[in-house]
Amino acid sequence: MIQELKKLNREKNKIFIYPIIILIAFISLLVYKVIHIKPDLILAILLLIIVVLPLFMSYFFIRKVEKILVPYVLSQCPDWKMIVSVRKNIQFNKKDQWNTELIPPKEIMLSAILPIYIVPIVNVSFFDSLTLSLKNAFSCDNDSLTKAITQIQYISKAERRRGEPLLQFYAGIITIKNSKNLGSITYFQTNNYPNGTDKNIIKEKSELELPKIELAEANQHDIDVYSNDKNVAEKLATPELFSTIQNIKQQFNSYYVKAVFYNDYIIFVLRNDRWGFLKYPTFSIQIPLFKNIDYPLLEQAVNNFKLLTDLANQAPEFTKNI
C-alpha cells in the first residue's frame, strides 16, 4: 500500500508539472522563433495547455485513485461489492435499463425520491426530457436482504428560459428491500439547511403529496414527517431514527437527508453537492491538490463507507415497532 500511495502521488504531481513543462517549452520555441503560427492559434494552444490538459490528466488520475481506493475500502467491508464504477445512464422509458437493483423501483423514484421541479416543456416527451445517471454503485446480499449504495445525478434535457439555472439533483441513495411490508408510505426529512443553501434545493418537493404529521419529538430534531398512515408514522418516529438522520446529515455535510418507508422499501436520500474536480462523492472525500494522499484520507473513506453500510444494515430495525 505504501508503494501504491507513492505511485499515486507521483501521478498527481504530473497533473501540474507536465502542463507547466510543455507551456515553458512552447513559449521558449516562440521566443526563439522556431515555430511560426498565427496569434489566434497560439492562444488556442496556450488555453489547451493551461486548462484542458490538466483536466484531461486529472480524469485518468481519478481512475487510478479508484483502483486503489475502492479495493482498500471494500477490504474493510467484505460483504459489499462495486457494481457500477464509471457513469451509467438509465433511460426512464426502457425497463431493461431500469432494472438494476441499485436504486428503488421507478414508481418510488418518480413519486417519492426525485424532485418535481424538473419538468419538460411543451412538445417534449416526459421520458425523453429526463436523464438519471449512476456512479459508484455498491450492493450487498449478506442477510437475504437486497441493499445498495448509489450516487445519482438527475437532470432535465428540456430547454429552460434564458437566465434560468439548470436545476440538477445530486444525492447518495441507500436502498434496502425489507422483509416487512408496512402497507403505507411515510417519510422523514430534515429541514435545517446549511447556510448558503440554494433556494431551489430548499424548495425541492417530491411528486407524492402526503399529509404532514405533527410530532413534537420530530420538531425538536428539525425533521418534518409526512405519511398516509399516522399510526405507522408514530411507530416509526423513534429517537434512534431521528438522531441517525441528523448524524448522517452532519457527517456527510448534506443539504438534507430524507428517510422513506415505502411499503417494503427503506430508502435514505443524502442530498449533496455535485461530482467535483478530484472529488470522490460516495466516500465523501476531496482528493488534495497540493499535498500527498495519505493513510488518514484512506481511513476517512473507509469510515464514511462503513457509516453508510451500518445505516443500510440497521435500517430494518427502524420498523421493529410495526
> Quick check: 172 and 149 in contact, CB under 8 A?
yes
Identify the residue whose cell numbers are 496569434.
Answer: 39
Terminal Cα distance for the chain, rounded: 47
Stronger pLDDT, 123 or 57, i.e. the higher one: 57
pLDDT value at 156 more than 60: yes
Closest CA to 258 of 210, 224, 286: 224
What are the pLDDT digits (tens) for 275-322? 777 788 889 998 887 888 898 999 999 999 999 999 999 999 999 998
Q: What is the pLDDT of residue 124?
A: 41
State how far Cα 236 lies from the chain centre. 26
Amino acid in position 19: P
State how far Cα 165 lies from the chain centre. 20
Distance (Å, whole) CA 46 – CA 22: 10
Burial grade of 308 (CB within 10 A; 0-12, 13-18, 19 or more): buried
Q: Which of 142-146, 177-181, 184-188 has the lowest mean pLDDT?
A: 142-146
DSSP annotation of 301 reads H
Q: Which of 29-33, 230-234, 269-273 has the lowest mean pLDDT?
A: 29-33
Q: How confident is the model at residue 19 (pLDDT cuts 50, 70, 90)?
A: confident
> Once rounded to an integer, what is the mean pLDDT over residues 121-141?
69
Closest CA to 233 of 248, 212, 219, 209: 212
Q: φ, ψ for residue 33 (rounded to 5)? A: 55, 35
Q: What is the pLDDT of residue 122?
A: 39
Stronger pLDDT, 234 or 162, i.e. the higher one: 234
Tell whether the torsion through CA atoms of 76, 79, 154 and 65 is positive or negative: positive
Q: What is the pLDDT of residue 6?
A: 85
What is the overall mean pLDDT for the chain?
86
Closest CA to 70 of 61, 58, 81, 86: 81
Closest CA to 173 of 147, 155, 194, 191: 147
pLDDT value at 117 more than 70: no
> Quick check: 88 and 144 in contact, CB under 8 A?
no
C-alpha cell at 63: 481512475
Q: φ, ψ for residue 173 (rounded to 5)? A: -115, 120
Rounded to 5°, the CA angle 120-121-125 comes to 55
What are the pLDDT digits (tens) for 47-93? 888 888 888 888 888 888 888 899 999 999 999 999 988 788 887 66
> Number of C-alpha atoms within 13 angstroms, CB side, residue 202?
9
Distance (Å, whole) CA 29 – CA 266: 62
Identify the residue whose cell numbers are 399510526.
Answer: 231
Q: Which pTM does this prediction carry?
A: 0.87
pLDDT value at 119 more than 80: no
> Once rounded to an integer, what is the mean pLDDT over residues 185-205?
93
Q: How confident is the model at residue 160 (pLDDT cuts 50, 70, 90)?
A: low
Distance (Å, whole) CA 288 – CA 278: 8
pLDDT value at 121 more than 50: no
pLDDT value at 141 more than 80: no
Identify the residue whose cell numbers are 430534531.
Answer: 221
Q: How confident is the model at residue 139 (pLDDT cuts 50, 70, 90)?
A: very high
**% of the chain beyond a pLDDT of 90:** 48
Beta-carbon count within 10 A of 28 CB:
10
Stronger pLDDT, 41 or 268, i.e. the higher one: 268
